[in-house]
Structure 1
Amino acid sequence: MHDSLKQRIRQLGLELPEPSQPAANYVNQVRSQNLLFISGQIPLQQGRPALLGRLGESLSPEQGAEAAELAALGLLAQLGAALDDDLAQLQRIDRLGVFIAASGDFQDHSTVANGASNLLVNALGEKGRHARTAVGVASLPAGVAVEVDAIFELRP
C-alpha cells in the first residue's frame, strides 16, 4: 500500500509546496547507499523567501518557529520528490540541522527549532523522531530567519 506524504501533510491542514530549485552550484539531494542528504531549505511562501530578519531583533521565537515549520515543509517537499511520494521507502530521519539567524544574546534556539521538529514528528510519526542540532548564525541566504537540512535513512 502506498503511504503518501502529500496526504499526511493535508491531514495536518497544510499543503506540501513544489520542491524548490537550487539557488547556486549544488543539488537538492544526494543519495549514498541508504542515506538521503537534503540540502538546506529556507522558509518560502508562494515560492518567495518568508520571515526575514533575525531572532532577538526583529522576530519573536514564535515567528522563528513558524519560519522553521515552513522550511521543514520544503524539506518534506524534497523528500517527497526523492521518494515519489512513497513514505514506505523511509526508515527514519537520522539528523535535523536547524540554522537560526539570531542576535548574539538570543538563547531560545530550541523553541525555534521545535517548529521544524514538531512538523516532522506530526507528519511522519515515529519515523520523524530525530537527532538535532540548532545553531545560531549571523545571517542566512536571502535574509531569512531559519534554514534546515536533514539526513534521512531509507529502507534497503
Structure 2
Amino acid sequence: MTSYRTTLEACGIAWPELSRPNLPFAPTKRIGDILYVSGQIPEALSDIVFTGKVGAEIDVETALKSAKLCAANVIYWVDQALDGDLDRVIQLAKLTIFINAAPGFAAFSQIGNGASEVMNAVFGERGEHARSAVGMAGLPANVPVEVEAVFHVR
C-alpha cells in the first residue's frame, strides 16, 4: 500500500481522507469481479476544493488539478472496497470524465488526461483504460469535473 500512496503523492496529490456521504447510493458497488466507482468530485476531507465552469471561472490548469483530485478520490474508494489491498486491482477497464463546461469550451480530452495520467502512474499497465471525456451543462455542487470508473478486481 505504501507504494500506491507514494506514487499518488509523487503526482502532487495527498492520499485522500474521505467519509461516506449521506446519500442514497454507495461510493462503490461490486458485482462479481467488477467494481463500479460512483462519480467522484474534487473534494478533500469534507470540503469541495474547486467550483465553477471550465472555460469561465475555471481555467484549464485548475481543471486538470480538479481531474487529478477526482481520480485520487476514485482510488481511495477502490482501496476501501478492497480492504486496503490495491494489488487486487486486475485492470482499470473504463474511466469517464465529466467536465462542467462553459459554452464553446471543447478541450475535454485535455482535462480528461489529468485523471488518466494519475491512474496510469498509480497502477502502471493495470491503469491503461478505455475512456470518455465529455462536456456537461452542469455538475453537482457546480464542480468543474467529476470522474467515475469501472475496475476488474479479484
Task: Normalising by structure 1, report the TM-score.
Answer: 0.90
SS for the counterpart of 2:109 is: helix
Unaligned runs of 5+ in 2: none
Task: Specify the alignment match of 1:48 in structure 2.
Answer: 47
When the two structures are superposed, what TM-score results if normalisation uses the length of structure 2?
0.91
Match of 1:18 in 2: 17
Q: CA deviation at 1:88?
A: 2.1
- Runs of 4+ with >4 A deviation: none
- For the residue of structure 1 that corresponds to 2:26, the secondary structure is coil
Please name the residue that 1:81 is paired with: 80
Contact 2:18 2:44 (C-alpha < 8 Å) held by counterparts: no
Q: Are 1:5 and 1:80, in contact at CA under 8 Å, matched by a contact in 2?
A: no
CA contact (8 A) 2:19 2:45 kept: no
Report percent identity of matched pairs: 35
- 1:98, CA displacement in angstroms? 0.5
- Asked if structure 1 preserves the Cα contact closer than 8 Å seen for 2:39 and 2:147, the reply is yes
Q: Distance in 2 between matches of 1:23 and 1:55?
A: 28
Indicate if the aligned counterparts of 1:5 and 1:86 stay in contact, CA closer than 8 A.
Answer: no
Supply the distance in 2 between the matched residues of 1:141 and 1:38 (Cα, whole angstroms): 16
User: Do the aligned residues in 1 keep the contact of 2:17 with 2:44 (CA within 8 Å)?
Assistant: no
Secondary structure of the structure 2 residue equivalent to 1:53 = coil
Q: Number of residue pairs matched?
A: 154
1:119 & 1:113 partners in 2: Cα distance?
10
